[in-house]
């Protein structure tokens, strides 16, 4: 059985027909982690109880118990989703060895589904970064070229799925942290509508923007996992009142007659010509499948990065105030409380996190609050209106995910602003709050993956997943693991 190329549906069928056991499936991926994670460096922690948990699922199945569709299938979690049986570090020194006293709602839902958590995945520290280079522990590498970054901040999630170390993974997206690494690693990454998946137990970066989503080889796999984790949660007051549903029901593969908006502003200066060519070829394919491309304008696109770096850092400076050496995490010993706070935070946080806390503190400080923070919230309204106007005319928006393919380590890390601009095409969506995904649409001349972004209205995950599904069926863009990971 060729497990590595199996879809979740095929795995589920094989498990139910007892052609495959969960123990075999989990062991297969644990072996691959052992063999390849030395190169990829995606896992911060591997679950030592995974095989035992798989055996329990197998035993329940052998007893004739009716199990959920994904029971026995492995998954891995970005290390900012709390788990009561494994450490959660946010790739930060300040949470070294932290063990949460409870599970995130998504962790509970994954377990309720019977999925087996393989481990916790590396990320940029506190999800602040676009390359995984800000992690305190390890730099995850891009499986397509180990000298290049996997993107970020969910770099470990993207790289682990790309290398076939897990069939699916969860990440989080605040300004592109699912879609950009998915694009750079050649996998499907979905950011659902804000509020679709509970944020309870997701360690907060920017609360009005953060959203948990999926990484998978196919859109269908992503839709299956989303069906397991989406839905209203009374423990999260910003959770949307959405009913549980089967997102695969909308994956008909029929996208005839859909209007797809092509925003001119997303194809302008700064876009790598090869990326542009591949995305345009993707749009041509969608046209062949019956979609009608419509040129649209999103006039406030140019302001999105500025708005984002005010709002996200302001919210982060407030959220990260809880890391003070009192209740959990690292503490630097000092004579008095004030010195303990400052020493703990200065030694516990890395440079990028400190930079963003300082920027956020500045824009919220007396005399600057109106000029920066309120102004940014007003421009956020204008960006939101750009989307609302566009969606009056079109069903979905198609654009590149990232202005370039995977870049080299160190290429952008010395210039914070340049790094921020690598999220230029993903950030607007978080400010609007809708759903979006990145689907592989080809490779550049160095065989690095290119991603095409599909953006949708609030709660229209099914529609954009169906476009991605139809595209994957028709385009023939490979979902194989890279050479070097096939053995």
Partner 1 sequence: MSITDKDVRHIAKLARLKVEDGEVEKLAGELGSILNYIQKLEELDVTGVEPTSHVLDLYSVTRADEAKPSLGTEKALANAPEAEHGHFKVPRVIE
Which residues are at the interface with partner 1 (CB under 8 A)? 98-99, 101-102, 194-195, 208, 234, 237-238, 240, 300, 302-303, 305-307, 309-310, 317, 321, 324-331, 334-343, 345-346, 349, 354-355, 357-359, 361-362, 365, 372, 374-382, 384, 416-417, 420, 431-433, 458
- CA separation for the pair 198, 211 (Å, rounded): 8
Q: SS3 for 64?
A: coil
With CA atoms as reference, report the closest residue to 470 among 219, 296, 146: 219
For the question of residue 153 being annotated catalytic, the response is yes
Pair 292, 257: CB distance under 8 Å: yes
Residue with Cβ nearer partner 1 (238 or 473):
238
C-beta closer to partner 1: residue 65 or 418: 418
Comparing CB distances to partner 1, the nearer of 69 and 314 is 314
On whether the CB atoms of residues 401 and 453 are closer than 8 A, the answer is yes
Smallest gap from Cβ 228 to partner 1, in A, equals 22
| Shortest distance, position 22 Cβ to partner 1, whole Å | 30
Helix runs in 130-205, H state only: 155-162, 179-185
Question: What 3-state class would DSSP assign to 454?
Answer: strand
Q: Give the 3-state secondary structure of residue 106.
A: helix
Catalytic residue among 12, 22, 78, 239: 78
Annotated active-site residue in 12, 91, 135, 153: 153
Nearest residue (CB) to partner 1, 276 versus 354: 354
User: Cβ 481 to partner 1, closest distance in Å?
Assistant: 37
Is position 78 annotated as part of the catalytic site? yes
Q: How many CB atoms lie within 10 A of CB 403?
A: 18
Q: Please confirm, yes or no, whether 135 is among the known catalytic residues.
A: no
**Closest CB to partner 1 among 12 and 193?**
193
Residue 167 beta carbon to partner 1: minimum distance, rounded to whole angstroms: 31
Dihedral pair phi/psi, residue 450, rounded to 5°: -115, 140
- Backbone dihedral region of 198: left (phi > 0), alpha (psi from -120 to 50 degrees) or beta? beta
With beta carbons less than 8 A apart as the criterion, state whether 481 and 4 touch: yes
Cβ of residue 148: shortest distance to partner 1, in angstroms? 24
DSSP H or E stretch at residue 324: none
Query: 471: alpha, beta or left, given left = phi > 0 and alpha = psi -120 to 50?
Result: alpha
Helix (H, G, I), strand (E, B) or coil at 41: coil
Catalytic residue among 130, 131, 177, 183: 177
**Least Å from the CB of residue 343 to partner 1:** 7
Looking at beta carbons only, is 303 or 409 nearer to partner 1?
303
Over its C-alpha atoms, the chain yields an Rg (Å, rounded) of 21
The residues annotated as belonging to the active site are: 78, 153, 177
């Amino acid at each position: 059985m060729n497990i590595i190329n199996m879809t979740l549906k095929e795995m589920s069928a094989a498990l139910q027909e007892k052609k495959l056991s969960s123990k075999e499936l989990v062991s297969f991926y644990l072996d691959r982690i052992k063999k390849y994670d030395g190169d990829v460096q995606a896992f911060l922690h591997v679950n030592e109880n995974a095989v035992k948990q798989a055996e329990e699922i197998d035993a329940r199945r052998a007893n004739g118990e009716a199990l959920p569709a994904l029971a026995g299938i492995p998954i891995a979690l970005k290390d900012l989703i709390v788990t009561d049986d494994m450490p959660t570090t946010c790739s930060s020194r300040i949470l070294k060895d932290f063990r949460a006293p409870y599970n995130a709602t998504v962790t509970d839902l994954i377990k309720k589904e019977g999925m087996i958590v393989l481990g916790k995945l590396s990320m940029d520290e506190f999800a602040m970064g676009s390359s995984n280079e800000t992690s305190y522990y390890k730099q995850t590498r891009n499986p397509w070229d180990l000298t290049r970054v996997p993107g970020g901040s969910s770099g470990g999630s993207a790289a682990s799925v790309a290398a076939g170390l897990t069939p699916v993974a969860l990440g989080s997206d605040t300004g592109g942290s699912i879609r950009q690494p998915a694009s750079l690693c050649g996998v499907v990454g979905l950011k659902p509508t804000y509020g679709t998946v509970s944020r309870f137990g997701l360690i907060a970066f920017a609360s009005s923007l953060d959203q948990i989503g999926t990484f998978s080889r196919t859109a269908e796999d992503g839709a299956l996992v989303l069906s397991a984790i989406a839905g209203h949660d009374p423990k999260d007051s910003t959770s949307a009142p959405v009913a549980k549903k089967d997102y695969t029901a909308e994956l008909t593969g029929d996208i005839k007659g859909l209007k797809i908006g092509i925003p001119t502003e997303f194809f302008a200066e700064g876009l790598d010509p090869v990326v542009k060519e591949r995305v345009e070829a993707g749009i041509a394919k969608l046209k062949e499948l019956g979609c009608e491309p419509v040129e649209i304008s999103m006039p406030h696109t140019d302001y999105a990065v500025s708005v984002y770096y005010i709002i996200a850092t302001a919210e982060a400076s407030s959220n990260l105030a809880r890391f003070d050496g009192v209740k959990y995490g690292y503490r630097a010993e000092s004579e008095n409380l004030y010195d303990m706070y400052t020493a703990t935070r200065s030694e516990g946080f890395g440079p990028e996190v400190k930079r963003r806390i300082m920027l956020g503190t500045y824009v919220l400080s007396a005399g600057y609050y109106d000029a920066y923070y309120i102004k940014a919230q007003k421009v956020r309204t204008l960006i939101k209106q750009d989307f609302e106007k566009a969606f009056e005319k079109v069903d979905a928006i198609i654009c590149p995910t990232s202005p370039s393919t995977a870049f080299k380590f160190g290429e952008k890390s010395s210039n914070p602003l340049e790094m921020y601009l690598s999220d230029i095409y993903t950030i607007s969506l978080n400010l609007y709050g809708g759903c979006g995904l990145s689907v592989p649409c080809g490779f550049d001349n160095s065989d690095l993956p290119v991603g095409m972004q599909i953006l949708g209205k609030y709660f229209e995950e099914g529609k954009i997943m169906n476009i991605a599904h139809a595209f994957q069926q028709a385009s023939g863009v490979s979902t194989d693991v890279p050479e070097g990971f096939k053995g």
